[in-house]
Amino acid sequence: MKTLVTGAAGFIGSHLVDELIDQGHEVVGIDSFDDFYEKSTKMANIESAQHQPRFKFVEGSIHDQFLDELLDNIEVIFHLAGQPGVSASWGNAFNCYLLNNVDSTKTLLQGARERGIRRFVYASSSSVYASPKCIEPLSPYGVTKLAGEHLCALYEKRYGVSAVSLRYFSIYGPRQRPDMLFARAMTCVSEQQPLVIYGNGRQSRDFAYVSDIVKATISAGLSEELPSSAIDIGSGSAVSVLDALNLLEGICGVRFDLQFDADGTSGPSESMADTSAAISALGWRSSTSMTDGLQRQYEDHLASHLHRRPLQ
């Protein structure tokens, strides 16, 4: 099967590319290498895939490409590309969020409609929620991700595009974006710097390991029937930020120097996935324990940090 992965060099996208290739699928990956974090980090994410004959990489924006060429013989689109970051979405860069989270989704859905793509999998976010059962975004970023969900539903209803939205919760693991909690914590350990926590740290989050999330994503793309219009993808349990960091301290063998930013964007007080749809529609549930997952991420961080360290 030939697939398209947008955001292919990102945290989740690169893991998805690797797994699709391992399963024998042909993958076209596209990434714009925006300046949210270093291009070299993203290039390292797809270094292994670049040597695989079943992988073709396109550098650029979805808006810059000829969709007929990009979607040639594609059966499933995994649309993971987007403008990340909750805090930054409140600032002057909101037009980037509209372009990369809303307009790009509309562009790909139109292409999927015209080319008769079998399945369109859209990476949404738990940021569409104000609380576990209340869909009411608390940030402009969340608004744009919810808009993408609505576009998927519209194209399914009006044009029969087989589109499903996956609401990813707090994903962690190797290659995690440098702005995310555990990646920041591990960098602070390596650089002996304080770790800034937004809010009071008592807010709870649903942490799920990236390889588990990739399996759910592929299941949504390959299932014979459209699983559901929108599905929560997470562990189904919540852990406070402070408890998660306490677990990570044991793995790293350090005590974090925590600094609390009461004015920072901490999001909802509680965030937890309802995994019932994922279990019933995809036959999927998260299986990696936080201890094992954080251990793997820390080992990857140490290896990457050692690799980047300049020679003395």
The answer to whether 37 is a known catalytic residue is no
**CA dist list (Å): 30 to 17, 43, 79, 82, 244:** 11, 12, 10, 12, 33
| Catalytic residue (choose from 141, 168, 198, 298) | 141
Tokens of 132: 């576990």
Residues 194 and 152 sit within 8 Å (Cβ to Cβ): no
Q: How far apart are CA 37 and CA 39, in angstroms?
A: 7
Going from the C-alpha of 246 to that of each of 30, 144, 182, 187, the distances in angstroms are 37, 33, 11, 16
CA dihedral 84→127→4→56, nearest 10 degrees, is 30
Query: Which amino acid is present at 210?
Result: V
- Residue 90 structure tokens: 């409140």
Give the CA dihedral 131, 135, 137, 142, nearest 10 degrees: 110
Residues 6+ apart with CB under 8 A from 7: 13, 30, 31, 79, 80, 81, 82, 123
Question: Active-site residue numbers?
Answer: 141
